[in-house]
Amino acid sequence: MKVVNQNIQIDGIDKKILRALMEDARTPILEIARQVGISGAAIHQRLRKLEKSKLISGSKFIINPKVLGYTTMAFVGIYLEKAVSNPDAVKQLKKIPEVIECHYTTGDWSVFIKILCKDNSHLMHLLNHKIQSITGVSRTETFISLDQQIERQIKI
């Protein structure tokens, strides 16, 4: 691995390691070592370097929200009265557990969020009583996702 001006160059071995872990982060290191043809210690060393470079950061389990009853996913464009309202609005959005992503954007909206709700009634409650009541929010525009057709990470 070579780091040049925050651009990381990874070799074929790094790519094989990353692909295996992206496929299943619980793959044993020794299994990856056998597939790649290097020692388990070498895999650990390469992973430490990739973490230090901040290319990778930990691993996580992915919860299926539908199993917990969250069947409605929506994207909400939030119009703020003034750009200076952004930090306070984001602080309030962080308090709403259903908000799972928040982006400061260009274009018409000041903020674009992704939320998970149990159903449309839950979505309406969040919009009317939690999101639109935040100081500085002038209005919102909501898009309900009917089906997520692509979900992936960047290709290695």
| Highest mean predicted confidence (pLDDT) among 83-87, 100-104, 149-153 | 100-104
- How much of the chain exceeds pLDDT 70, in percent? 96
Q: What is the pLDDT of residue 3?
A: 52
Two structure tokens written together for 128: 């009317």
Q: Looking at domain 65-145, does it have CATH number 3.40.50.10470?
A: no
8, pLDDT greater than 90: no
61, pLDDT greater than 90: no
CB 89 within 8 A of CB 80: yes
User: Within the chain, which residue ranges are assigned CATH 1.10.10.10?
Assistant: 2-52
Q: What is the pLDDT of residue 83?
A: 87
Q: What confidence category does residue 5 fall into, taking pLDDT thresholds of 50, 70 and 90? A: low
d(C-alpha 156, C-alpha 149), whole Å: 21
CATH topology of domain 2-52: Arc Repressor Mutant, subunit A (1.10.10)
Strands in the chain per DSSP E? 2-4, 7-9, 72-80, 99-104, 111-117, 137-145
Taking residues 50-77, report their average pLDDT.
94
Give pLDDT tens digits for 11-36.
999 999 999 999 999 999 999 999 99
Strands in 20-82 per DSSP E? 72-80
User: Within the chain, which residue ranges are assigned CATH 3.30.70.920?
Assistant: 65-145
138, pLDDT greater than 90: yes
